[in-house]
Amino acid sequence: MSENMQNIDTMNLNDEIKIETKLYGLIAEHASPNRLFVLLNKLVKADNADAMMIPMNIREDDFYFTLSNMKKSHVNGAYIAAEYQEKAVELLDEADEFVQVYNKCDFVLRDGEKLIGTYLEKNGALNGDALAKEIYEQFIK
């Protein structure tokens, strides 16, 4: 990266979200204590990418409304916590083979007004740093 690019004032330098910032949510009933967003944002910041994951504390009663309305939002995607992974499947417009096999979705991408789902934790080995790295490598970088 050129020296001029490093001096550009991005949200990763001052934690500001701009219109062009790729924005991802962490959807959980208790999202704030989940450290995935912190780990992911550290990777984003280290790479000077213009993206951010924010915790979204969503009650069970509001889950369907929140995820279905993501289609018309500026949020690029979201990680879905374990308590909502089965419910997310029925709201997807497209699902990869892992969603179909496991009947769970732990990450959605918004493509226009479509939600495309995948299941990253299929092997159970992804957690913490490994999960953050997988999300960053596949969807943000």
Question: What pTM was estimated for this model as a whole?
Answer: 0.85
Q: What percent of the chain is modeled with pLDDT above 90?
A: 75
Q: What is the mean pLDDT of residues 91-97?
A: 97
CA distance 85 to 77: 14
CA distance 124 to 61: 27
Can you give the pLDDT at residue 6? Answer: 40
| pLDDT, mean over the chain | 88
Q: What is the mean pLDDT of residues 74-78?
A: 95
Q: For 40-139, list the strands marked E by DSSP.
A: 51-57, 77-80, 94-95, 107-111, 114-118
**What counts of helices (H) and strands (E) characterise the chain?**
7, 6
Task: Delineate the domains of the chain, giving CATH numbers in brackets.
Answer: 18-140 (3.40.50.10860)
Q: What is the mean pLDDT of residues 66-70?
A: 95
**What pLDDT, in 10s, does the model give residues 1-47?**
333 334 333 344 567 788 889 999 999 999 999 999 999 999 999 99
- Cα dihedral sign, 98-36-10-3: negative
Q: When comparing pLDDT for 70 and 9, which is higher?
A: 70
Q: What is the mean pLDDT of residues 87-100?
A: 97
